[in-house]
Structure 1
């Protein structure tokens, strides 16, 4: 029987082809495509995950942030997983905000929190900007975005296609939709640069790579901040490119968790050793480690990223204070460069 030649339609984005978009799906140039369902079921049936404690509490009390941080100051506060509050240049910026109990299309099943958000939603300062790096449920949480819109009506910056998902829930959201290499100019002489990272996207089984994923560089009078929500190391290509384009960074928020087993995860999630190498390649003065200890997505133990980060820093003779694996409620006042 002859196979159908009907073209698959992208449900989120229509636009011209590029070096990372083939007219239907986005891809990582020269990179690794995400493994399919056969590999996923092989992982789940063959590899046994470490058991996490039901509750993994943070040693830090819930944060009570100031309304505004200005001048040369820079503070990043861990909420949980990839949700961070960045306060710089008089702006309050949230990354991939998730206050939901689960990161899943369903409210009753899927990865559940092992600790409470490190900042109560009602204690948020006025939020100016929200950065959404991609559409996986642990990064794009529609319920949280709706609550933020009702309370703060922030300016959302997100890569191509993710705006379609957000607008279905928030029709009047203020969104800047960006491609790799684009700039979004904000107030207070702050510019958001949308940059490549090595990842993928999906909300279900039929929309793989139909919305773009990205990292962001926040260029401010107080210095540059490199924020990566998720990435595979990709031989350090994107770290080198970031250093060449931007020169270096006062701070980088780097993912350090959800990396085992390597045969399945290496194309989408770097491990702590790779994050430390990326720190050096991109000329990063200080780093905040995230994407660990809140939702169990992969096989490593809950505190394995901490131990692996310590070993990687020691092996490269980097002062541990320069790369901190943040816990919910922890605030990091980043030293000037």
Structure 2
């Protein structure tokens, strides 16, 4: 019996060690202040939002704990989320968007292929043993996604910047990584070649495959380890010769959306964060209603909701964000599409919203 117990302990210890094997790499690298200090947003060793933001305002901690213990939210689907596999013969002409779950999406725009915040791991965590786990499988392998011209990252949180996915893309193809200031140091630590890293401050731009990528303002925060806000966060404008797309990244609602719309809009489509909101972080994640407002501010065309339905990162029902955004878009006559994970959307001819998620609650 003692030998069996010792063997089980040994197996458990080995599993933990295996799960934490990449922990030093997962935490990333601390950027040099000399590199990031050129930004007007970097002061006293940290990046700052334009407005003062708060997390865990008075009373929110007790309310969050009460909901966690006594809340009756349906935080997981009761059945399998429908997934859509890779369709043969797709071309990148026109404007198409494929949502893979959470904030990961492929934008095919005027012949270029831009991959946003790709996360293919089972957990958005520094360890694959603990942390938020997928509510549905990845609909397509990273190999099935195929070659892309650029990988765009909004910020360095684990649900947006994934070590294993970055390594796979860096190993198997030649895409350039276009990222906010400071995130390049994570990529360098992960052995992404220097010539494939482009770091931008807000309002800076980079052209790839005939498409201009512009880093624009957002209201959020950053951090992978014990240091917070030493890398920048951003939303993104994707400008092709004929089409334009806006991606919000993670953000609270702020007055910068109107400026983005005035300078870069109108857009054919916008990918807008609608989930993972709560009383503890009112300034750094939008509610669905705020997401619709931001979409209207930037003059967003077709609204494609993201940041919902894949990872449990808040205490609301897993379908609440999309139910609320559907209701709000109807009230304001905003065009909406809600793709299944893996579904490729033709922005010029989107399918009607069918409420597919409502059978899973």
TM exceeding 0.5: yes
Number of the residue aligned with 1:4: none
1:53-68 map, 5 Å:
53=76, 57-64=80-87, 66=89, 68=91
Number of the residue aligned with 1:122: 143
* Aligned 8 A contact 1:17 1:23 in 2: no
Number of the residue aligned with 1:324: 337
Number of the residue aligned with 1:159: 180
Find the structure with the greater CA-based Rg: 2
**Is 1:186–2:208 an aligned residue pair?**
yes
Per the normalisation by structure 2, the TM-score is: 0.81
**Is 1:274–2:290 an aligned residue pair?**
yes
User: Alpha-carbon deviations, 1:118-163, whole Å to 9, x = none?
Assistant: 2222212211110011000000001100001111131000001111
Offset of 1:83 from its aligned partner? 0.4
Structure 2: gaps of 5 or more residues: 1-28, 350-361
* Aligned 8 A contact 2:206 2:214 in 1: yes
Number of the residue aligned with 1:97: 118
**3-state SS of 1:47 partner:** helix
CA RMSD of aligned residues (A): 2.2
* Aligned 8 A contact 2:97 2:108 in 1: yes
User: Alpha-carbon deviations, 1:58-83, whole Å to 9, x = none?
Assistant: 3342233656412xx10000111000
User: Alpha-carbon deviations, 1:272-323, whole Å to 9, x = none?
Assistant: 11111112111111121110000000011111112101221122233xxx22
Q: Distance in 1 between matches of 2:149 and 2:204?
A: 20
- Worse-matched range after superposition: 136-145 or 264-273: 264-273
Number of the residue aligned with 1:293: 309
Offset of 1:22 from its aligned partner? 0.3
Number of the residue aligned with 2:273: 255
Of Structure 1 and Structure 2, the greater helix share is in 2
* Aligned 8 A contact 2:117 2:153 in 1: yes
Distance 1:66 1:232, change over 3 A: farther
Structure 1: gaps of 5 or more residues: 1-9
Distance 1:171 1:43, change over 3 A: farther
**Is 1:176–2:198 an aligned residue pair?**
yes
Number of the residue aligned with 1:7: none
* Aligned 8 A contact 2:54 2:281 in 1: no
Per the normalisation by structure 1, the TM-score is: 0.87
Number of the residue aligned with 1:147: 168
Offset of 1:186 from its aligned partner? 1.4
Distance 1:65 1:182, change over 3 A: farther
Offset of 1:197 from its aligned partner? 0.5
